[in-house]
Structure 1
Amino acid sequence: MRRLTVAAPPRGRALRGSSLAILLFILAAPAAAASCRAIEAEGAGYTLCEADAARDDIRLFLNDPGSDTLLGSFANVERLLENQDKRLAFAMNGGMYHPDRRPVGLHVEAGRKIAPLVTRAGPGNFGMLPNGVFCLREDRAEVIESREFARETPACRFATQSGPMLVIDGALHPRFIEDSDSRFIRNGVGTSADGRRAWFLISDAPVNFHRFARVFRDHIGARQALYLDGKVSRLHAPGLNRSDQGLLPLGPILGVVVDEGVPLD
């Protein structure tokens, strides 16, 4: 959320009349939420959502904590948050899952490990090493390669493992092919070097891995980025009047939570 800074009045002078009213209005107004916008890169369209890990409430959702039943949709997450006088600024599918919607790799919610880390190679996109973990720590968001994560064992409040890595220390995944004809609507997450910024990206049309990863590296400037999924990729962005629907329920969902009264850009 953007922070509003109000200059202090000169020493010895009090705020009066309209000045005091303006200050009180600014302080009382809810802060603007993390937001989404349309971007274009190399002639293709994408939707980019941004969050500040030090200010925004970024969370993972899988099951309803009251009943332990799968949430599976943005609407169900919204209903869960409504009971807390909160809502989603935006959300997207947040990692790969088995047919029963169990996470394929590491999944941590509010410090509780729900599924373990997987470091071995395997079939499919998830097993195309190196893969990685999106880890949310106090005031920090990081994408960490999975074997490095296993060595460091950072304490994540929320974490989701997926794969493959899109950008690794500023370089594209070595197995990506520039002219590959494997194209899907894809989504992923990247982080800034200082851990403050998290970028959530979804393509408007089918793209291959190489092109999708280039957007993170060359246009957003992410040093690390992680693929979340394709085919099932969906975005919920109320500020854009968008909430993608699908025939089947989702597994993990990544979202930014705000108070009910916060305006959405």
Structure 2
Amino acid sequence: MTHTKEDRDSVTLKRIKTIRLLLLWLVALAFMGYFSWQYYGTAVNESVNLQGAIKMKNVTPATFPKIEANKAEKVVMNGNSYSTYTVDLRASKLTFYHKTPDGKPIGTFKYLYEYLDRQQKSLVFATNGGIYTETLVPLGLYIENGKQLVPLNRRQGTDNFYLTPNGVFYIKQGEAFMTTTEGFDENTHTITHATQSGPMLLIDGKIHPRFVAGSANKNIRSGVGIIDKNKVVFAISDQPVNFYEFAVLFREKFNCRNALYLDGAISKMYLPELNRNDLDNTIGFGSFIGVELK
């Protein structure tokens, strides 16, 4: 049987149409698979995030475990708002966190929360510790559970850390202490926890000599002050403030004689009693200071 040219052309066109339809079908399948993956992948991720959100949503000022001797307080002074947490060392233990026992950096507030949660521990309060390097190592003295991980830093520099006098906040035999770096006794064998940072905000009741009232150099500020040997107060500004304003908070509101700046713009505070659930997972920190429910 012979085929005319017209017959052969017709067969060729049919084959081309068939191939085109097959290709379109394959492309359609590919798009369906892609969008299906996107949908279900997103759904899984949203489910994970939602579970986390639900967990945190249950952590409200009314339901979160509290330590009655401690006090979470929103303070307004000279038009500025601050979140503060006063810790009674007789009723609760301050804990410092840098790395897990296997050497993994804690790094973020979210990981700290999850790390303690896996141990069935409840985090009541946390804030970032002193200033640190780009590799998430404390820039100055750091002692955790009696072990010195970073030595005292007496170097000179231009950053806030080096705005002398800077200082050291430490816990010794269950009591709180703070001193300038210059006056610090490096015999640290009885110190359980310590962090060095700078500048000092208050030195023996006096505001740091380099601070200027009315300065336009404003930023988010976090710090710690000594009320007495059994009580310390942590504070973070809710909006940018200058160093002078921040120092006045510790002196006038809490009657601190010594207070230390911890860090600036990136500072966070986890304090559910004041609706501060700062469980950020994007900013890395060198260390944390926290209180767990006993």
State whether residues 223 and 234 of structure 2, in contact with CA within 8 Å, keep that contact through their aligned partners in structure 1: yes
Q: Distance in 2 between matches of 1:31 and 1:168?
A: 30
State whether residues 35 and 89 of structure 1, in contact with CA within 8 Å, keep that contact through their aligned partners in structure 2: no
Query: Which one of the candidate residues 197, 200, 220 is aligned to 2:234?
Result: 200
Query: Which one of the candidate residues 33, 38, 49 is aligned to 2:74?
Result: 38
Matched with 2:286 is 251
Matched with 1:178 is 213
Matched with 2:86 is 50
Q: What runs of 5+ residues in structure 1 fail to find an aligned partner?
A: 1-28, 260-265
3-state DSSP of counterpart to 2:161: coil
State whether residues 167 and 181 of structure 2, in contact with CA within 8 Å, keep that contact through their aligned partners in structure 1: yes
3-state DSSP of counterpart to 2:122: strand
Query: Which one of the candidate residues 95, 100, 103 is aligned to 1:68?
Result: 103
Cα distance, 1:154–1:46 mapped onto 2, change above 3 Å: farther
Which letter maps to 2:85? C
Q: What runs of 5+ residues in structure 2 fail to find an aligned partner?
A: 1-64
Q: Distance in 1 between matches of 2:96 and 2:121?
A: 15
State whether residues 35 and 90 of structure 1, in contact with CA within 8 Å, keep that contact through their aligned partners in structure 2: no
3-state DSSP of counterpart to 1:149: coil
State whether residues 165 and 198 of structure 2, in contact with CA within 8 Å, keep that contact through their aligned partners in structure 1: yes
Cα distance, 1:178–1:155 mapped onto 2, change above 3 Å: same
Q: Normalising by structure 1, what TM-score?
A: 0.81
Q: Distance in 1 between matches of 2:202 and 2:187?
A: 20
Which letter maps to 2:260? L
State whether residues 34 and 89 of structure 1, in contact with CA within 8 Å, keep that contact through their aligned partners in structure 2: no
Query: Which one of the candidate residues 153, 158, 161 is aligned to 1:123?
Result: 158
Percent of aligned pairs sharing the same letter: 38
Matched with 2:13 is none
3-state DSSP of counterpart to 2:163: coil
3-state DSSP of counterpart to 1:126: helix
- 1:164 and 2:196 correspond: no
State whether residues 55 and 139 of structure 1, in contact with CA within 8 Å, keep that contact through their aligned partners in structure 2: no
Paired residues for 1:131-150 under 5 Å: 131-150=166-185
Q: Distance in 1 between matches of 2:119 and 2:259?
A: 32
* Cα-to-partner distance string for 1:72-113 (whole Å, 9 max, x where unaligned): 122222222224332111111111000111100001110011
Q: Distance in 2 between matches of 1:154 and 1:227?
A: 25
1:151: Cα distance to partner?
5.8
Cα distance, 1:154–1:166 mapped onto 2, change above 3 Å: farther
Q: Distance in 2 between matches of 1:202 and 1:153?
A: 28
3-state DSSP of counterpart to 1:148: coil
State whether residues 173 and 190 of structure 2, in contact with CA within 8 Å, keep that contact through their aligned partners in structure 1: no
State whether residues 185 and 207 of structure 1, in contact with CA within 8 Å, keep that contact through their aligned partners in structure 2: yes
Query: Which one of the candidate residues 263, 266, 282 is aligned to 1:229?
Result: 263
Which letter maps to 1:205? Q
Q: Higher Cα Rg: structure 1 or 2? A: 2
State whether residues 33 and 89 of structure 1, in contact with CA within 8 Å, keep that contact through their aligned partners in structure 2: no
State whether residues 91 and 254 of structure 1, in contact with CA within 8 Å, keep that contact through their aligned partners in structure 2: yes
Q: Normalising by structure 2, what TM-score?
A: 0.73
3-state DSSP of counterpart to 2:233: strand
* Cα-to-partner distance string for 1:111-152 (whole Å, 9 max, x where unaligned): 011100012332211011111111012221112111211366
Q: Distance in 2 between matches of 1:175 and 1:149?
A: 21
Q: Distance in 1 between matches of 2:75 and 2:276?
A: 15
1:221: Cα distance to partner?
0.7
1:30: Cα distance to partner?
8.7
Cα distance, 1:78–1:196 mapped onto 2, change above 3 Å: same
Matched with 1:213 is 247
Cα distance, 1:31–1:221 mapped onto 2, change above 3 Å: closer
> Size of the alignment, in residue pairs?
229
Q: Which has the higher strand share?
A: 1
